[in-house]
Structures are given as C-alpha cells and as structure tokens.
Amino acid sequence: MKYFVSTIIGVVLIAIIGGLVIVGSPKEERLRRFDDSRVSDLQQIQSHIISYWQSKDSLPHTLDDLQDSTRGVYVPRDPQSGEAYEYKVRGDLTFELCANFARKSFFPPMQKRPPADYPHRGGIMPSEQSWLHEEGRMCFERTIDKDFFRPVKPDEPKKK
C-alpha cells in the first residue's frame, strides 16, 4: 500500500512538472495574456484610426482625438502598466502604433496552422504576421489603402 501511494504521488508530481514545462509557468502565461491584450488593443486602435480617417479624410493628430463618449469609443491603455500606447502620424495615410511586449510572439505548437505554403511566411495567416512581435518595444507601421477603405461622404442634398 505504501508503495502504491508513493507511485501515485510520483506520477502526479511528474504530471505537474511536465505540464509546467509544456505550458509554462503561471507567470509566463500571465505575461502572454498581457501581450495578447496588447495586440488586441492595437488592432482596435487601428480600426478606430481607419474609421476616423474615413469620416474626416485625415488621420487623428493624437489617440485622444479618437475618444468619443457618444459612440462609446475609448482608446485602450496598456493592460499591465496602464500607460497609453504610442501613436505617430508618418504621412497622409501612414501611421505607427507602438507597444512594449513582455515576450516574443507565441503560437502554441498544437494550434492548427494553415499549410506551410499559405500564402507565404511559413504558414502564418496574414492577420497574424502583421502583428508578430519581439520582446520589448515594438512599432507597427500601417498605411491606409484608399482603394479598400474609402472615405465616407455625407449624403448630398436631394434636388427637388
């Protein structure tokens, strides 16, 4: 009986240690989640910038220009530090968003991936490759495609 209990305890310990090795520590997982939130925040900010450009035919000067309580638009802040993300206008249609990442981009090995030749870059989906990041400060330059994102023009007055 004593041997059986020791074996069970040993198996449980090996399973726990193996799980931590495969998945990572709770601290590492927390840092990964912060980074996932940062990417999600940057995607949201990018979407707000494009909507702003479509409405006003110009890029916002600052991220504060995007805030609009009437439409419920609030610019997210870094989930860990609470600081604002960096934003810079680089041209009439070009802007840059920056964040500080805790870890390099992570794709779980068990996650289903497209074929390695899709369409290039080792099987990483285009939406994923545009947000790949290293550890530390990382900036993403974006250029609005005027053919895809057309400015919204107000309805012209109807002629009687």
Which pLDDT tens digit goes with each residue over 25-79?
788 888 899 999 999 999 999 999 999 999 999 999 999 999 988 888 899 999 9
Pairwise CA distance, residues 132 & 48, whole Å = 20
Residue 109 has pLDDT above 70, yes or no: no
State which H helix or E strand residue 140 sits in.
strand 136-143
pLDDT of residue 123: 45
E strand residue ranges, the chain: 86-89, 94-101, 136-143
Give this prediction's pTM.
0.71
Task: Look at residue 47 in the predicted model and tell me its pLDDT.
Answer: 94
